[in-house]
Structure 1
Amino acid sequence: MEIFNFEYICNIINSNIIINSINLMRYFTLFVFLFFSTLSISQTRIKAQIIDIDTRVPLAFCKVEYLNKTITADWEGKFNMEITAFDKPLVIAYKGYQTKNVYISRDEELVIIKMTIDLNTYKKVEIYTDNRVNKIVKKVTENKKKNQPEKALKSFQYKNYENLLITANPDSISSKIDTIYKKRLFSKTKIKLDSANYKFKELITKHHLYQTEKINLIQYNKTGYKETVLASRMAGFKNPLYEYLGLKLVSYSVYENPFEILETPLQNPISNYGRRLYNFYLVDSLEIQNRKTYKIFFQPKKLQSSRLRGLFYIDAQTFAIAKAYYRIYGIVNINADYTFEYRKEENLWFPKKRKFTVLKGNNADDIKILGNTIKFNSSLETNPNTNATDQIYLTIESIPFDIELNKEIDFENNGIKIEIDEKGLDKPENYWTKFSKDTLDYRRLNTYKSIDSLSFSKKIERKIFLGKKILNGYYPIKLVDLDLRSLVKYNNFEGFRLGIGGVTNAELSEKYKIAAYGAYGIKDKEFKFGITPSYLIDKKSETWISASYTDDLNEISQINFATDSRRFKIYDPRPINISTFYSNKTTSVFIESNYFAKSDTYFALSKSRIDPKFDYTFINQGISYTKYNITTAQLAFQWNPFSSYMQTPKERIEIEKRHPKFSIQFTQTLPNVLENDFNFTKIDFKTFYEIPFISGHKSSALLQTGIAFGDVPLTHLYSLQPNNLNRDAILQRITFAGKNSFETMYFNEFFSNKYVSLQLKHTFNKIRLGYRINPEFSIVTRMAWGEINKENTHIGLEFNSLEKGFFESGVECNKIFKGFGLTAFFRYGPYQLSNIEDNLSLKISYYIDLGF
């Protein structure tokens, strides 16, 4: 046996050398990996946005200094940057705001920087438009006639594909299952797992929440616009929800003034007055479609305003808008983006694409659309949210095609803005394939199938159909719609009034209908009834001719307009406390029609036998009347000149309710016709004007007046809807508040044969006080003047006239909890009462929101 083997030793040594070399390479590789990993970890790319701390409105073009380098945020206050030294701050500077140092941590990727106003310098800051950009904007305004298609062209038409999505980005939703701890009063803390976010992420990954599409033909000539819906489909609906097809969330034209967003009119920045409200800033110049354009930023002169902000790309030669981006930050965040295509032959930029997005803003309330409650998230903070539904947003895209300019176009301008082609309501799947550009979005393909099955299982379409019927006061039962108004009522004269009524519906006949009701008063022990058969003369204008007979009670001196819509009320508060009624046996023939553009028309001939159910005698020309006959002809118009209408296969719908609205009514007795006892004429007029604000506030004004000439009995005078009980204590006078009622005016206190009244109201946003306690405050002022004809003699009731003027003001705190609220009004002026408590009115209000 060999004691020492040299070759063996050499092999061992060589093996060790190789092993050590391999290990050395491993250590070196590990060192290099750790070295570069450390380098990569030591720097972070962040995305940031700079906003006002109070309004959450982005601050445009802020200066950001970091490591002796300065960059500028964009027009939405956004910027991105590599952070290499985490012990060095970002220094943010903006005029009128306190300079802020911001330190970035290693794990931050999205940073929201909130700036605070410097009260010492903010009011001194002057932001102005320099002469160069001012001249450009002025040129845009001056050249609108050459650049706005509606003014530059004789006519045009195009087809338009529009797609609406309600969806969310799955990547923005955390799939984490949260643990919720709930404390109990006399036991241990309860632990519950919340998987809502996980389930929502799973759902939104498969399909969108909602989707609908339509193809419409847009036509324009010098008489105006006409839109024809050629095809439409809505997820979950066999027949489309027609209200959506008329939905206009944003103006079609960037040149319109006022510019509309969410049906709220705003001053267009490029209007003549717009330059007084907005500042403009020339950002850059660049080429679009080989044409030089100026990139101009605009924002309100009041930096904290929620008014429009945005960018214009202005053609340097024609001063037309080549691109436009609008942003509004408030209770909702709104993005509206317009792109245009230059058409050389017409030297015109014509719309190419429009995109509109709505997201949740700085409000805590839900935003409702299409009858569903949807929560939108804020675009300012796109990091995963603990509430997944806050990530939902709505977007609408519309793309024109088959564009024809300056072609002879004729269409009937009858006040109908949108018309639905009945043939387009049932298009096959292959029809839509050519319009769906985004075929890679597999979620769109699954949406219709998923929502259709959900809608069928939940009977959503049936529920919306029922909701519309209920809002109009009916509940459908096979061939008859049950009249919900006739079931139960209460007043001081009849006590509880129990009844039943209804009208036949289209399931029985579209040409004929019969309405009837019967009721019994528990206290007066009298039966009342009415019947009205009707025949449809013309379907398109919805012209009905009807005959009617009623034997019922009416409140004295009511101010009624025959064309007012009958909206369903669970309760009608005023009649509860009324005891002065008259029996009214009336036979009438009347016609109702929508024949005239943007109006409702009513004409009636009627004969009434009047029997006051209170102590009353009317002395006229030496004759005393306790019962009397009145034969009248009545003509009434409801005219909404600024509203837009849609003609569906079934009915005409007011899709854009614009103000002011006007109602006028003429009533004339017919002497020596059917034993008529009196000769008088009545003229009634009212107008209502409501101004919505993008902030969610709204202001309204109601002006109403009437005059009666001749010999008018008390039952047909005016009493201005009083709603106060004549009792000593305040608590005894607490009842339900009415709509547009004079809450401090006592019943039967004033009567007039001519009057004028004005009601002013401003409603604020809801205030969140606690869980499901979100009151809505309004301030209200009402005033009225009136006179009484001294030549007529009314015996039985004592009352005053209103020559000196009646005034009341108050606060409404509505919808505190489950629709209930409180109101408080105070009476002042010439008819103020000596006892201060008698001028105060406290009431309970109730508003029901069915979500439609």
Structure 2
Amino acid sequence: MKYFWLFATLFISNFLFSQTKIKGQVIDFDTTIPIAFAKITHDGKTITTDWEGKFAVDVIVFEKPIIASYKGYYDKSAYAKKSTALLLIKLITNSKERKAELYTHQKVNTIIKKVIDNKKKNQPEHVFKSFEYKNYEYLKVSANPDSISSKIDTIYKRNLFGKQKIKLDSSNYRFKKLVEKNHIYQTEKVNLIQHNEKGTKETILASRMAGFKQPLYEYLGLHLVSYSVYENPFEILETPMQNPISNFGRKLYNYTLIDSTTIDNRKVYRIYFQPKKLRANRLRGLLYVDAATFAVAKAHYRVYGIVNINAYYDFKYLKEHQIWFPEKTVFNVQKGTNTDDLKILGSTIQFNNSIEEGISKNASDQAYLTIESTPFDVAFNTNFVISEPKIKIEVPESSLSQPEKYWAPFTKDINDKRKSNTYISLDSLSMASKIEHKLFLGRKIINGYFPISLIDVDLRSIVKYNNFEGFRLGIGGVTNNKLAENYKIGFYGAYGLKDREFKYGISPSYLVDKKSETWVTASYSDDLEEIAQTSFATDSRRFRIYDPRPINISTFYNIRTSALSLESKILPKTNSYFSVSQNYIQPLFEYTYVNNNKIYTDYNITSVQFAIQWNPFSNYMRTPMGMIENEKRHPKFSFQVMQTLPDVVENDFTFTKVDFKTFYEIPYLSGHKSSVLLQAGWAFGDIPLTHMYSIAPNNINRDAILQRITFAGKNSFETMYYNEFFSNRYASLQLRHTFNKVNLAYKIAPEFSVVTRMAWGEMDNTEKHIGLPFNTLERGFYESGIEANKIFKGLGITAFFRYGPYQLPRFDDNLSIKISYFLDLGI
């Protein structure tokens, strides 16, 4: 008998230890999105995957399949081996059930509805008259050294002619050594968050960035994820998404009640949500809902796509207030399914393009970005005053120079030795590579200037070309802060090689108020301007290596201007401009204007102009360097009015011009973006053709298509010929959708856009304008096309076709093919 128990024990032990636990994950075949709560069946037993699509199953007989199944997909059988580290099961969509919608059960649907209905009872912004707290935020870009291969590879690269280059690649080895010692990058800040009936404001109390004596102010205003789980739209990487706990969100998401658990000794429901369209890259995640108050007690969010994003919200239950208040937020970004280079925060974190299957050992693929936010010193219903609530973030100069002892209480992770090493290593790296100086140059260049000693040279004044002046060579600039902070002098001079004329201008300015950035400027210029162009005085000066439209323009007028102007940001979320000017105008083409039986071939116009740009949905921050639009949101509006002054010195005409523009851009997490540009103008009174509207044409009147190939403009009508249409009132609409880059060949990766443009216009008293024939736009002008931009080294090609009432008889006259060029400054 004693041998029987011995053999039985050995048999059971052998049986138990012959089992192998196999870990796996179920994903969508096409999108690689994990499939949550799929059924896993093996040897007659069924389990379900977790919300990340992961599972673990005990396998005894490896010849028996592991079967994965989920509604809307074909079942998939997979076989594991004892050596299998991770069994990846890819389910293929069942086309017959592809449109089948997942339905939410009534019980969990009721819970979600109560969460939405009780928002105001659970949001601190609605519960308390006021509250404030300090917040410590730590950002790091790092990688796990163990996940990086230290192997030095031999790599083969093709050039444009198909030949191969062979070289040793030690980048992974060097990257592994780097992240063993310190993080790639890190920065910290402490801010004060205050909320009352006037709104919410953030004040930076302290900040430091590895490698920088002064922080990047753009980062201090960066919100990669929404502060509140109740916000709608909910923002991830500054991209708005429908919140799953919103009325409209209920139409987009399916909810599953998994179980109940406890947090802070309170019962909470654990609810999983995912898009009803399973392959959509909307939010997925887990909500922990208080069973009594229906408040969110914890939340995990995920987005799978070109990057994989994870956001974790932890809350603490405050018994005295009966509310869940934020305790900690963690935001994590890793490489996803992108096959293009991907940059976040400039080049701080970069993922190189990769299409290999399996677990990549590429150094850049293993990098991740993490932001941790921890509130402390929370106070409710205190009395405080929020000054200038329209300015959402305040960065006082004192926050830039906090001593080392200030940061000591926040260094809680004593095991993270890489943290302190990062500051030392990056500080020396910054000094060696002059990162701060490069960023200083970048800010100047992106606005069109290059600093040389006391002067910022205007890069756009050096060389230009148009059909009237030919090559226009010149020099221009403005004095900078090294000379003085409260005044500056702008100037330029140019010479046209074709018209053999000098042009020049000077504009001294004085800073009236630093806080509102109010400048008063006096100016004088003698120059050329394009006929009937529309420009907004408040438009920003963004750098372009060339301006393509004027290249083929030949109808200019000479304008000598004396002006006094005022520019200010005194009104919240606006940039305003006011000027008084006297202009002598001489058309440089055959033109006569007949007004009140008097003939004009040149004339004087004295006028006032008021312009304002209003960005009501953007958020602004005030820094020692000035105001910054830290959260650029749309739509944006521009408005300006110009009025001539009758009976004032040397003014020949009385007329009014009113112009309006709005721009709306919608970014998507997929990398696509859509935009709408609506523009309109109305001029009435005695108006010469030079001050009418031509709606930015960009096509030259030549017979052959190849002869009309020039450079495409930014928002110009590519099939409309120069001087073809003029109006004194018009409206135009432009619609654009831009897709991700498409890799076609070696370094050939165009970015495709589809564009539609349309315009309507009318002209009063056409008989007053003699010498330049033109048409009007009463019936509407239409063109559509496709742009393949950035094909190679910034160069691209566009093709547009003209149709509708003003379509021309010959097919090829309606077709426009242009070259596009985009300069990537890398900043």
Q: Would the TM-score normalized by the shorter structure come out above 0.5?
A: yes
The 8 Å contact of residues 790 and 821 in structure 2, kept in 1 or not, is answered as yes
Q: CA distance change for structure 1 residues 748 and 92 in 2, over 3 Å: closer, same or farther?
A: same
Corresponding letter in the other structure for 2:66: L
Query: 2:621, 2:629 within 8 Å by CA — same for their partners in 1?
Result: yes
Alpha-carbon distance in 1 for matches of 2:165, 2:620: 55
**1:546 lines up with 2:534 in the alignment:** no
Q: Is 2:88 the partner of 1:112? A: yes
Three-state SS of the structure 1 residue aligned to 2:718 is strand
Q: 1:536 to 1:106 in 2, by over 3 A?
A: same
Counterpart-to-counterpart distance in 2, 1:486 and 1:431: 48
* Structure 2 equivalent of residue 99 of structure 1: 75
Structure 1 unaligned runs (5+)? 1-34
Picking from 312, 315, 330, the partner of 1:340 is: 315
* Count of residue pairs the alignment pairs up: 818
Residues of 2 paired with 1:148 and 1:236: CA distance? 39
TM-score (norm. length: structure 2): 0.96
Deviation at 1:183, TM superposition (A): 8.6
Aligned to 1:46: 22
Show the counterpart of 1:360. Answer: 335
CA contact (8 A) 1:762 1:780 kept: yes
Does the CA-based 8 Å contact 2:185-2:348 persist in structure 1? no
User: 1:9 is matched with which residue?
Assistant: none
Listed as ranges, the matches of 1:594-633 within 5 Å are 594-633=569-608
Counterpart Cα distance in 1 of 2:274 and 2:577: 49
What pairs with 1:449-488 in structure 2 (closer than 5 Å)?
449-488=424-463
What SS does the corresponding residue of 2:309 show, helix, strand or coil? strand
Q: CA deviation at 1:592?
A: 0.1
Q: 1:74 to 1:381 in 2, by over 3 A?
A: farther
What SS does the aligned partner of 1:432 have? helix
CA distance in 1, matches of 2:698, 2:96: 52
Partner in structure 2 of residue 808 of structure 1: 783
Give the corresponding residue for 1:18.
none
Q: Give the secondary-structure state (helix, strand or coil) at the position aligned to 1:434.
A: helix
Letter in 2 for 1:491: N
What's the counterpart of residue 402 of structure 2? Answer: 427
Aligned-residue offset at 1:378: 12
Aligned twin of 1:229: 204
CA distances 1:392-439 after superposition (whole Å, capped 9, x unpaired): 111111000000112122112352110102111122222212112212
Residue in 2 that maps onto 1:511: 486
Question: Within 1, Cα distance between the matches of 2:405 and 2:57?
Answer: 47
Q: Residue 646 of structure 2: SS of its match in structure 1?
A: coil
1:316 to 278, 283, 291: 291
Tell me the secondary structure at the aligned position of residue 88 of structure 1. coil
Taking structure 1 as reference, are residues 149 and 637 closer, same or farther at Cα in structure 2, changes over 3 Å only? same
Distance 1:372 1:585 in 2: 45
Question: 1: distance between equivalents of 2:730 and 2:160?
Answer: 61
* 3-state DSSP of counterpart to 1:636: strand
Alignment-mate amino acid for residue 754 of structure 1: R
Query: SS where residue 652 of structure 1 aligns?
Result: strand
CA contact (8 A) 2:342 2:352 kept: no
| Separation (CA, whole Å) in 1 of partners of 2:319 and 2:565 | 58
In structure 2, the CA distance between the partners of 1:242 and 1:79, relative to structure 1 (3 Å rule), is: same
CA contact (8 A) 2:114 2:294 kept: yes
Tell me what 2:370 maps to: 395
CA distance in 1, matches of 2:766, 2:696: 24
Alignment CA distance shift 1:248-1:183 (3 Å)? closer
Q: CA deviation at 1:199?
A: 1.5
Deviates further, 492-501 or 188-197: 188-197
Matched letter for residue 641 of structure 1:
P
Q: Which runs of 5+ in 2 are unaligned?
A: 1-10
Which stretch shifts more, 783-792 or 644-653?
783-792
User: CA 1:631–1:432 in structure 2 vs 1: closer, same or farther (change >3 Å)?
Assistant: same
User: What secondary structure, in the 3-state scheme, does the structure 2 residue paired with 1:140 have?
Assistant: helix
What displacement does 1:131 show? 1.1
Aligned runs of 1:142-541 on 2, under 5 Å? 142-180=117-155, 192-372=167-347, 374-376=349-351, 385-541=360-516
Q: Cα distance 1:370–1:326, how it changes in 2: closer, same or farther (>3 A)?
A: same
On the 8 A contact 1:45/1:109 being kept in 2, the answer is: no
> Using the alignment, how far apart are the partners of 2:330 and 2:566 within structure 1?
45
TM-superposition CA deviations, 1:537-573 (whole Å, max 9, x none): 0001000001000000110101011001111110100
Shift in Å, 1:236? 1.1
Whether contact under 8 Å (1:361, 1:378) holds in the other structure is: no
The amino acid across from 2:557 in the alignment is Y
How far apart are residue 765 of structure 1 and its match?
1.1
Q: Does the CA contact (< 8 Å) of 1:377 and 1:393 recur in 2?
A: no
Q: Is the 8 A contact 1:174 1:385 kept in 2?
A: no
CA displacement at 1:790 relative to structure 2: 1.5
SS of match in other structure, 2:95: coil
- Check the 8 A contact 2:340/2:353 in 1, yes or no: no
* CA spacing shift, 1:137–1:206, aligned 2, 3 Å: same
Cα offset, 1:120, TM superposition: 2.8
**Deviation of 1:186 (Å):** 13
Q: CA deviation at 1:67?
A: 2.5
SS at match of 2:89: strand
Equivalent residues of 1:158, 1:403 under 8 A apart: yes
Determine whether 1:659 maps to 2:638. no
Q: Is the 8 A contact 2:458 2:477 kept in 1?
A: yes
Q: Check conservation: 1:359, 1:378, Cα contact below 8 A.
A: no
SS at match of 2:113: helix
The one-letter amino acid paired with 1:222 is E
Q: Which residue of 2 aligns with 1:74?
A: 50
2:784 is paired with a residue whose SS is strand
Partner in structure 1 of residue 4 of structure 2: none
Any conservation in 2 of the 1:684–1:706 contact (CA below 8 Å)?
yes
- Match for 1:568: what amino acid? F
| Aligned residue among 733, 755, 761 for 2:736 | 761
| Aligned twin of 1:10 | none
Say if 1:183 and 1:712 are closer, same or farther in 2 by CA, change over 3 A. Answer: closer
Q: CA deviation at 1:194?
A: 2.5
2:232 aligned counterpart, secondary structure:
coil
Deviation at 1:121, TM superposition (A): 3.3
On the 8 A contact 1:366/1:374 being kept in 2, the answer is: no
Q: 1:122 to 1:752 in 2, by over 3 A?
A: closer
2:610 pairs with 615, 627, 635, which one? Answer: 635
Q: 1:590·1:602 contact (CA, 8 Å) conserved in 2?
A: yes
TM-score where L is the length of structure 1: 0.93
What is the aligned-residue identity percentage? 65
Separation (CA, whole Å) in 2 of partners of 1:378 and 1:723: 36
Deviation at 1:202, TM superposition (A): 1.1
Q: Deviations over 1:33-87 (max 9, x none)?
A: xx99999996543332111000111111011122222211101101123433322
In structure 2, do the counterparts of structure 1 residues 81 and 381 end up closer, same or farther at CA, with 3 Å as the change threshold? Answer: farther
Q: Which residue of 1 aligns with 2:6?
A: none
Is residue 557 from structure 1 mapped to residue 557 from structure 2 by the alignment?
Answer: no
Is 2:136 the counterpart of 1:131? no
Q: Which residue type is aligned with residue 655 of structure 2? A: F
- The answer as to 2:705 corresponding to 1:727 is no
Aligned pair partner of 1:829 in 800, 804, 807:
804
- 1:518 is displaced (CA, Å) by 0.5
1:122 equivalent in structure 2: 98
2:146 partner letter:
D
Cα distance, 1:188 vs structure 2: 12
Letter in 1 for 2:47: I
Shift of 1:697: 1.0
**For the residues of structure 2 that align with 1:459 and 1:187, how far apart are their CA atoms?**
37
Q: Given that residues 360 and 377 in structure 1 are in contact (C-alpha distance below 8 angstroms), is that contact kept between their aligned partners in structure 2? A: no
The one-letter code matched in structure 2 to 1:788 is: M
Native 8 Å contact 1:608 1:630 kept in 2: yes
Q: Tell me, yes or no, if the aligned pair for 2:727 and 2:776 is still in contact at 8 Å.
A: yes
- SS of the equivalent of 1:769 reads coil
What is the alpha-carbon distance in structure 2 between the residues aligned to residue 229 and residue 620 of structure 1? 61
Between structure 1 and structure 2, the one with the greater Rg is 1
| CA spacing shift, 1:377–1:679, aligned 2, 3 Å | closer
